[in-house]
């Protein structure tokens, strides 16, 4: 539109100037101009208005002589033409004023660029006077012009009064400052000469405003691109018109992949109806808003939970759509779920602990009832020898049960504290299996389950059954599994043993035909404090720690444990352990068979023990051996006794003494006489205690309470 107005103005100026020039030419051709009153001079009978006239000589050629003579004159009334000239002059002045008052710079130059005419705005903006500008080339004002000679050629080829050329360039003022301009050039013809009329406008403010807009848009784009959420615009039909760039970071989609697609494309099918209903509610009213949660489909076909906030801005000229904000709340939902699960676990753990403590009270008080009851009975009344032995067996069995509970509590504490330690050493696997078979045959008899068949299966012969593992922990695992098999089996059989697998490992198993474990309980059976039945009406005893401890021990030794079971169909517990063939020279010596009696007459044994009951117990079990006993109640007394009796053959040393640590006593005794064997005793019963005792100077280690036969067998090995 601007170019059309400029071209029309130029055309009118050109027409006026041509008409003025034609009139001037007519005046020049006049021989003389007279201003007379036509009514009174030439034609008295003809009415003429008062005005001006033009008189033209009429030359006539003489027919005889050929001489040119002025024969007469023609008088023409020019009043009307004078009026036209006045109007033309008035119009010319008007357009001159318009051009001079215009804020746009006007440069009239020839096709070579030489300036012919300028207006006042050109003088003001360039800081040059009109006279100065009319001595310059228009390209002198443009510091880049001479580098664009191709454009100057285009000027020359412009059609006259038909097409214009618009471009942006720079002008340089007289003071050297440079400013941007927009130039519109047109080719016109004046006085039969082709000229270029250029209208230039200072666009500094427009450039600055554009730069501000660009920076503002850049800031907005940067803000949109870096906010955590995704922004989108949908039309009234739910078609996506815009998606912010960070949709690719959050959901994997590129914006162009979704623009033009329905907004429901990424909605989980189960949430689709709810989302469409919410969208229709927002469409009903301008400015309406709503928030909804749903599952958003990512490009990899996974889903994230988003919180969608939408507002109806269809009447907003800057938006003209439904503005939506997608906030990824997947992590929040996950955290809420984890918190919920943690809360449920804490509540379940609290319930289990309460059930465990109640069970512990039952598990401890029940055997204590038998121990205290039968001990009191034996104190108050004389019974036949056979009956006394039965009562004492019960007391012993219940005591072992209490010991197992204590050991389980200690082990689970060490597992939770991450302090479970192992003491691996080579031992004969078949020998341990044989011992367990004998022990649990007696256990079946004590529970009146002699009818249950107990079998073993061995994959290796005795000589090749040496494995390197913690023998005490291995035995503990097997006893836990066998104890459960005996407890939960009333009919049928129990089988245990091992198989050699292709890779270097052994597969151990304990199989029973007992009550089995329901499928829903199998996942939790290895959790601490958990049993298949943890209600108050439980039929079977137990702490609920045995399987947890066993599984952790197996994993600590490099294996894994699992089960196969069905309710009413029995159970099979499996676990694996690494197996490495041990060379003949590295094999351990077989455990000496226990003897029924020991003769240690002439042997001197020093017992360093601060507990009086324990000293009395040691005195009683050693009395039948005939050994000479020396008793010390603390470390200092024990060291003094050792130094004053150089003929001592063995020392039984309690590690926990009131004055000096048993570890220190062992070191000092070895400094005094290295050949005397020392057997350390401790009630700590931790896995690493044996190692610590050996490092301190002891030759062997036995945990309290010690089995009589185990104690005598160990002493016999060193005397």
Report the distance separating Cα 649 and Cα 654, nearest Å. Answer: 17
What's residue 303's pLDDT? 93
**Which CATH number covers residue 25?**
3.30.450.20
Quick one: CA dihedral 512, 515, 518, 521, positive or negative? Answer: negative
Helix, strand, or coil (residue 680): strand
Q: Are 22 and 119 members of one domain?
A: yes
Nearest-10 crossing angle of helices 662-672, 635-644: 10
Contacts of 293 (CB under 8 A, 6+ apart): 305, 306, 307, 308, 329
What's residue 429's pLDDT? 92
Domain annotation covers residue 513: yes
Domain annotation covers residue 338: no
Domain annotation covers residue 340: no
pTM over 0.85: no
What's residue 42's pLDDT? 37
Domain annotation covers residue 142: yes
Domain annotation covers residue 411: no
Torsion of CA 160, 120, 129, 165, to 10 degrees: -30
Give, in order, the Cα–Cα distances in Å from 131 to each of 99, 122, 316, 539. Answer: 17, 12, 55, 121
Q: Are 126 and 273 members of one domain?
A: no
Where is the domain boundary, 173, 205, 237? 205
Domain annotation covers residue 393: no
How many structural domains comprise the chain? 4
Q: Are 529 and 450 members of one domain?
A: yes
Could you tell me the maximum CA-CA distance found in the chain, to the nearest angstrom? 199
Q: Are 566 and 426 members of one domain?
A: yes
CA 146 from centre of chain: 59
Domain annotation covers residue 468: yes
Helix, strand, or coil (residue 608): strand
**Which CATH number covers residue 525?**
3.30.565.10
> Which residue range forms the structural domain that includes residue 284?
227-328
Contacts of 192 (CB under 8 A, 6+ apart): none
The enclosing H or E element of 312 equals strand 303-313
**Which CATH number covers residue 696?**
3.40.50.2300
Q: Are 478 and 570 members of one domain?
A: yes
By C-alpha distance, which of 596, 481, 600 is closest to 550? 481
Contacts of 400 (CB under 8 A, 6+ apart): none
By C-alpha distance, which of 628, 638, 645, 650 is closest to 717? 650
Q: Are 629 and 580 members of one domain?
A: no
Grouped pLDDT means (10 residues each) for the chain, 719 residues: 52 62 51 36 42 49 54 51 59 60 84 87 91 89 65 62 78 90 84 82 84 68 65 90 87 92 92 90 86 92 91 86 89 88 82 70 77 85 86 80 78 77 87 90 86 92 88 89 91 94 90 89 74 45 74 91 90 92 54 66 93 88 92 93 93 90 91 92 65 83 81 89
Q: Are 640 and 558 members of one domain?
A: no
Q: Are 481 and 443 members of one domain?
A: yes
Helix, strand, or coil (residue 494): strand
Domain annotation covers residue 299: yes
Q: Are 264 and 198 members of one domain?
A: no
Q: Are 165 and 241 members of one domain?
A: no
Q: Are 438 and 558 members of one domain?
A: yes
By C-alpha distance, which of 339, 313, 316, 333 is closest to 324? 313
Q: Are 263 and 298 members of one domain?
A: yes
What's residue 39's pLDDT? 38
Where is the domain boundary, 537, 556, 586? 586
Where is the domain boundary, 280, 310, 328? 328
């Amino acid at each position: 539109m601007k170019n059309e107005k400029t071209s029309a103005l130029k055309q009118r100026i050109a027409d006026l100037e041509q008409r003025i020039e034609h009139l001037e030419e007519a005046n020049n051709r006049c021989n003389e101009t007279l201003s007379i009153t036509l009514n009174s001079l030439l034609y008295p009978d003809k009415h003429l208005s008062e005005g001006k006239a033009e008189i033209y000589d009429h030359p006539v050629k003489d027919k005889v002589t050929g001489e040119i003579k002025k024969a007469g004159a023609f008088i023409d009334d020019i009043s009307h033409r004078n009026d036209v000239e006045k109007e033309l002059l008035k119009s010319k002045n008007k357009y001159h004023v318009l051009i001079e008052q215009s804020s746009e710079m006007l440069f009239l130059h020839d096709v070579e660029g030489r300036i012919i005419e300028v207006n006042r705005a050109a003088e003001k903006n360039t800081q040059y006077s009109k006279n100065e500008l009319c001595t310059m080339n228009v390209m002198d004002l443009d510091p880049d012009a001479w580098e664009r000679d191709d454009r100057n050629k285009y000027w020359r080829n412009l059609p006259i009064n038909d097409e214009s050329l618009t471009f942006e360039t720079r002008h340089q003022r007289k003071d050297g400052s440079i400013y941007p301009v927009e130039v519109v050039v047109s080719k016109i013809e004046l006085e039969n000469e082709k000229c270029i009329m250029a209208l230039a406008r200072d666009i500094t403010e427009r450039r600055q405003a554009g730069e501000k807009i660009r920076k503002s848009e850049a800031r907005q784009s940067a803000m949109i691109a870096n906010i955590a959420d995704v922004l989108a615009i949908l039309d009234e039909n739910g078609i996506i018109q815009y998606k912010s760039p960070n949709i690719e970071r959050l959901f994997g989609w590129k914006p162009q992949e979704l623009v033009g697609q329905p907004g429901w494309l990424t909605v989980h099918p189960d949430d689709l109806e709810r989302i469409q209903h919410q969208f229709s509610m927002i469409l009903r009213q301008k400015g309406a808003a709503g928030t909804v949660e749903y599952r958003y489909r990512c490009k990899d076909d996974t889903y994230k939970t988003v919180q969608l906030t939408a507002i109806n801005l269809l009447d907003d000229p800057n938006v003209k759509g439904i503005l939506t904000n997608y906030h990824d709340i997947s992590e929040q939902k996950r955290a809420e779920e984890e918190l919920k699960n943690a809360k449920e676990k804490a509540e379940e753990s609290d319930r289990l602990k309460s059930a465990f403590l109640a069970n512990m009270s039952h598990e401890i008080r029940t055997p204590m009832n038998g121990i205290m009851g039968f001990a009191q009975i034996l104190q108050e009344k004389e019974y036949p020898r056979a009956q006394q032995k039965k009562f004492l067996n019960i007391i012993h069995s219940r005591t072992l049960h209490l010991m197992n509970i204590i050991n389980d509590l200690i082990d689970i504490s060490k597992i939770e504290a991450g302090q479970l330690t192992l003491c691996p050493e080579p031992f004969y696997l078949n020998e341990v299996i044989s011992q367990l078979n004998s022990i649990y045959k007696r256990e079946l008899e004590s529970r009146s389950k002699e009818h249950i068949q107990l079998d073993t299966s061995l994959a290796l012969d005795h000589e090749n059954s040496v494995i390197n593992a913690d023998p005490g922990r291995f035995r503990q695992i097997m006893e836990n599994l066998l104890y459960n098999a005996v407890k939960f089996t009333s009919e049928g059989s129990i089988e245990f043993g091992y198989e050699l697998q292709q890779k270097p490992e052994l597969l151990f198993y304990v199989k029973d035909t007992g009550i089995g474990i329901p499928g829903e309980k199998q996942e939790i059976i290895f959790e601490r404090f958990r049993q298949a039945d943890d209600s108050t009406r439980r039929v079977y005893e137990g702490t609920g720690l045995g399987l947890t401890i066993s599984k952790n021990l197996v994993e600590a030794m490099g294996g894994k444990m699992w089960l196969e079971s069905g309710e009413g169909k029995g159970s099979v517990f499996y676990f694996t352990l690494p197996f490495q063939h041990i060379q003949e020279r590295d094999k351990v010596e077989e455990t000496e068979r226990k003897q029924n009696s020991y003769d240690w007459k002439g042997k001197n044994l020093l017992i360093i023990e601060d507990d009086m009951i324990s000293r009395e117990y040691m005195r009683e079990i050693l009395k039948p051996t005939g050994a000479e006993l020396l008793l010390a109640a603390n470390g200092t007394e024990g060291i003094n006794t050792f130094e004053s009796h150089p003929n001592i053959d063995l020392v039984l040393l309690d590690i926990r003494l009131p004055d000096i640590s048993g570890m220190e006593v062992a070191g000092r005794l070895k400094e005094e006489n290295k050949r005397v064997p020392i057997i350390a005793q401790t009630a700590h019963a931790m896995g690493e205690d044996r190692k610590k005792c050996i490092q301190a100077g002891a030759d062997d280690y036995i945990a309290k309470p010690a089995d009589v036969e185990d104690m005598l067998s160990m002493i016999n090995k060193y005397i």
